[in-house]
Structure 1
Amino acid sequence: MSERPGDSMESLYPFLYSGATDLEAVLTSVRASTVEKANEIVALRRAVLERDGDRLAACAWAMAGAFSRGARLFAFGNGGSSTDAQDVAALFLHPGAGARPLPAFALTADVAVVTALANDIGFEVVFARQIAASGRPGDIAFGLSTSGNSRNLIAAFREADRRGMVTVGLAGYDGGQMAELGTIDHLFVVPSTSVHRIQEAQTTVYHALWELTQDALAGSTYAGTSRGW
């Protein structure tokens, strides 16, 4: 039997469909739903940290090494992940007082370029063509997807790999095609089927990567290791 249009919304926000007219009952349901979602993301972030903590540190060292050799970071994603890609670029480029600004660009930011490529060639190339035009060996390709199956991200990572770039990927679910590629240097998969929780956890991941990269560039030590370039 097919799902009715309201069914998926009801599963997400049951308090809106309960038929309750008692305001206090509705507020109680809202509070319970909010607490449940907050607990979910806290547990998910903890699970990602416990599983990938060492790999996050290794990725940050690699990114710091690349930046120290003049690398630039190119971030990309679709939909909500395009907003995250722009946040990644802004975070590295304009981190605020006391942190080192690093060259970073969002491939989603130039609407004229994105729409020209999508219209004239196809949406699958909107990131790969920009990487082909601007990417250099040693630069960083940083792609975000909730499903891991976005075809334009797969094309971009393939182009970045051909050009000898450092590749960093953030995905959800089981990693999808991004995990199957086998050529992404640093892939972090958030084990969830909720797009909302995936994106919330991915935000934590890239902020942690930024902070660890800043520490590495400043000559800090962590995990008992000190490295320099």
Structure 2
Amino acid sequence: MSTLDGTPAEGTRGLYPFLDEYEQRTPDIAEAETEARRSAVEKTGEIVRLRRRMGEESAAELAACAGRMAARFASGGRLFSFGNGGSSTDAQEVATAFLHPHRGPALPALSLTDDVAVVTALSNDVGFEVVFSRQLAALGRPGDIAVGLSTSGGSANVVRAFEEAARRDMLTVGLAGGGGGRLTELFELGVLAHLFVVPSSSVHRIQEAQTTLYHVLWELTRHALGPAPIPRMHDPG
């Protein structure tokens, strides 16, 4: 991957630092392939170990969170997900997993980054830190679920969204990385009901582990709901 001026992208260098060495001399193809294979195996081992650790340390909390989410869905609650950048993509996948599952009943879910017009209007007219909280203020209600993702745990708009969700008696579920950042503070204050922190400094490993976490939450929530159909939501009009 290169930037517009043709120089290698910093992100690529971070993923494959050994490539710099090959830029300085004529590469030996076999040696390059061996090093690429070694790097891939190393990264695969890292995420497998990280996922296993999260499973061992968070199993009880995941089950408890899924049980509470199931209870909210069973009572007509809806799920709202949000995040920035790569976490925005994950937020969209969270909503898709619940709303369009490959098996089982569909559950009402919406990613707050889906509506570009709303996100850009709020960013331009008010400020980017309110793009999620303003939507929750308009759409959220007691009994709903707010799921926010942040690799650093420090995204101001994610923090503001959780504060708004807590004021509206929504079930708040956070996914973070590293030390948890500001989301750890919200959890300690009781603003966040559940917080899952991936203990890694690598954004790539954090997001890979978070993908596993929210899919496990979907599986456990579906299991907790059982075969009973989800009640139809009342038309707010």
TM-score of the two chains, using structure 1 as the length reference: 0.90
| Counterpart residue type for residue 217 of structure 1 | L
Give, in whole Å, the separation in 2 of the partners of 1:41 and 1:171.
16
1:218 pairs with one of 226, 229, 235:
226
| CA RMSD across the alignment | 1.6
Equivalent-residue separation in structure 1 for 2:184 and 2:115 (angstroms) = 28
**In the alignment, what sits opposite 1:74?**
80
Could you tell me which residue of structure 2 aligns to residue 167 of structure 1?
172
Structure 1: which 5+ runs fail to align? Answer: 221-229
Deviations 1:5-59 (A, max 9, x none): 9887545313311225110000000000000000000000011111110000000
Percent of pairs with identical residues: 62
Is 1:208 equivalent to 2:216 in the alignment?
Answer: yes
1:18 to 12, 18, 21: 21
Q: How far off is 1:100 after superposition?
A: 1.2
The CA distance in 2 between the partners of 1:210 and 1:122, in whole Å, is 32
Aligned to 1:227: none
Cα distance in 2 for partners of 1:35, 1:63 equals: 36
1:17 aligned counterpart, secondary structure: helix
Match of 1:60 in 2: 66
Amino acid at match of 1:113: V
CA drift at 1:198: 0.1
Give the structure 2 partner of residue 177 of structure 1: 182
Match of 1:118 among 119, 123, 129: 123
Separation (CA, whole Å) in 1 of partners of 2:212 and 2:11: 27
Match of 2:56 among 47, 50, 59: 50
CA distance in 1, matches of 2:226, 2:209: 26
Letter in 1 for 2:20: Y
Q: Which residue of structure 2 lines up, in the alignment, with residue 158 of structure 1? A: 163
Call closer, same or farther: CA 1:12–1:157 in 2, change over 3 Å.
same
Residue type of the alignment partner of 2:197: V
CA offsets 1:100-123 (integer angstroms, 9 cap, x no match): 100000000000000000000000
Q: Does 2:92 correspond to 1:86?
A: yes
Q: Distance in 2 between matches of 1:69 and 1:6?
A: 48
Letter in 2 for 1:84: D
Matches of 2:13 and 2:165 in 1, distance apart? Answer: 42
Correspondence for 1:28: 34
In structure 1, the residue matched to 2:205 is: 197
Q: Tell me, what secondary structure is at the counterpart of 2:101?
A: coil
Mapped partners of 1:14, 1:126: distance in 2: 36
Cα shift readout 1:155-196 (whole Å, capped 9, x = no counterpart): 000000000000000000000000111310010000000000
Distance (Å, rounded) in 1 between the aligned partners of 2:56 and 2:35 = 32
Runs of at least 5 residues in structure 2 that lack an aligned partner in the other structure:
1-7, 229-237
- AA aligned to 2:95 is A
Deviates more, 1:178-187 or 1:191-200: 178-187
Structure-2 change in CA distance of 1:8 and 1:131 (3 Å) = closer
Whole-angstrom CA distance in 2 between matches of 1:30 and 1:82: 29
Q: How many residues align?
A: 215
- CA deviation profile, 1:119-142 (whole Å, cap 9, x unmatched): 000000000000000000010000
